[in-house]
Structure 1
């Protein structure tokens, strides 16, 4: 495995160089998805974003974002879209949404994704965030301690066959399992991000 250096991307909008590198990284790893508009919006609109890059031999080898979120009391009744922030009630519990996570194809299976997740968890611990959620491959995230997140609903309804992909991880095992709904910043409130 090459020597990996993990560092934060500066808060605020991406520089033109950062934008070009991040866009190329995601295009190579996910050629059938266009995640860059979401990444750009998160950097422009979320001031306390945790955005980490992995550098290998001077090139961008991986990237991850942890978006600050809150767990709110679950509003009553069925829902067909994102829950407006005005409808959430009760005490908010700090949380984070992991994603997207990307590793360059030539650097996959070298532990870079795991290193990015660990670095993100360390940063979240320092911010007193105890719960992390992700919508992703259960086999992959299960290896990193994530378990199905059925007690906290995602921000938007999921297709039924994606329910296993909604997972959580606690950074403080002494805390009780959270219950409620994950409330996220505006860039994540597009229902298209939560469906096929």
Structure 2
């Protein structure tokens, strides 16, 4: 197996070479889903995107995106009393939404997805991002420290049987578990991205 190197993709619209490689990667890994248009839009529309690729020699082996978001919440010691302080101001906590995460079929089960997630978390810590949320397989993401049943409302209602797939991880262990509602860039506000 070629040594894997993880490096960032530059912010902004994808170059034609990057777009072609990513489109082929996502088509091979997710033949029944068309995730590449989302990847292209995130790159074109979202400032501050953390986009990492895993290269096996000259071959694109994997890719992950972390979208900058905020959690609109209240301090843990000041939950509002609707009778006395319904207008208490919310606080915004920095967060990131993980996804999509993609590994080429011939490179799966080799730790590439894990390496991409770890590299993303390291980059997010350097940016002082507090929490990461993901909608994905609990069996997989629990191995990376994610906990099911996030007390953060997603941008669109989830099917009930997906609730355990909505997971969170705190990058700063001194912080309490996040609660509130996730505010995402416009690209992620399409309800079709949050349902079957």
- What's the TM-score, normalizing by structure 2? 0.91
> What does 1:128-143 align with in structure 2 at a 5 Å threshold?
128-143=128-143
Q: Partners of 2:51 and 2:41 in 1: how far apart?
A: 13
Give aligned pairs, total: 183
Aligned partner of 1:78 in structure 2 is none
Q: How far 1:10 sits from its partner (Å)?
A: 0.7
Q: Give per-residue Cα distances to partners, 1:113-155, cap 9 Å, x unaligned.
A: 0000000000000000010000000000011110014311111
Determine if contact 1:62/1:104 at 8 Å carries over to the other structure.
yes
Q: Partners of 2:143 and 2:177 in 1: how far apart?
A: 19
Determine if contact 1:133/1:149 at 8 Å carries over to the other structure.
no
The unaligned stretches of length 5 or more in structure 2 are 75-88
Q: Partners of 2:68 and 2:120 in 1: how far apart?
A: 12
Determine if contact 2:28/2:104 at 8 Å carries over to the other structure.
yes
Aligned partner of 2:150 in structure 1 is 150
Aligned partner of 1:115 in structure 2 is 115
Q: Partners of 2:130 and 2:91 in 1: how far apart?
A: 15
> What does 1:78-89 align with in structure 2 at a 5 Å threshold?
none
Aligned partner of 2:33 in structure 1 is 33
Q: Partners of 2:154 and 2:195 in 1: how far apart?
A: 12
Q: Secondary structure at the match of 2:90?
A: strand
- Over the residues paired in the alignment, what is the CA RMSD in angstroms? 1.3
Aligned partner of 1:22 in structure 2 is 22
Q: How far 1:47 sits from its partner (Å)?
A: 1.3
Determine if contact 1:70/1:93 at 8 Å carries over to the other structure.
yes
Q: Give per-residue Cα distances to partners, 1:52-105, cap 9 Å, x unaligned.
A: 00000211000000000000138xxxxxxxxxxxxxx61110000000000000
Which structure: larger Rg? 2
- What's the TM-score, normalizing by structure 1? 0.91
Q: Partners of 1:137 and 1:37 in 2: how far apart?
A: 22
Q: Does 1:12 align with 2:12?
A: yes
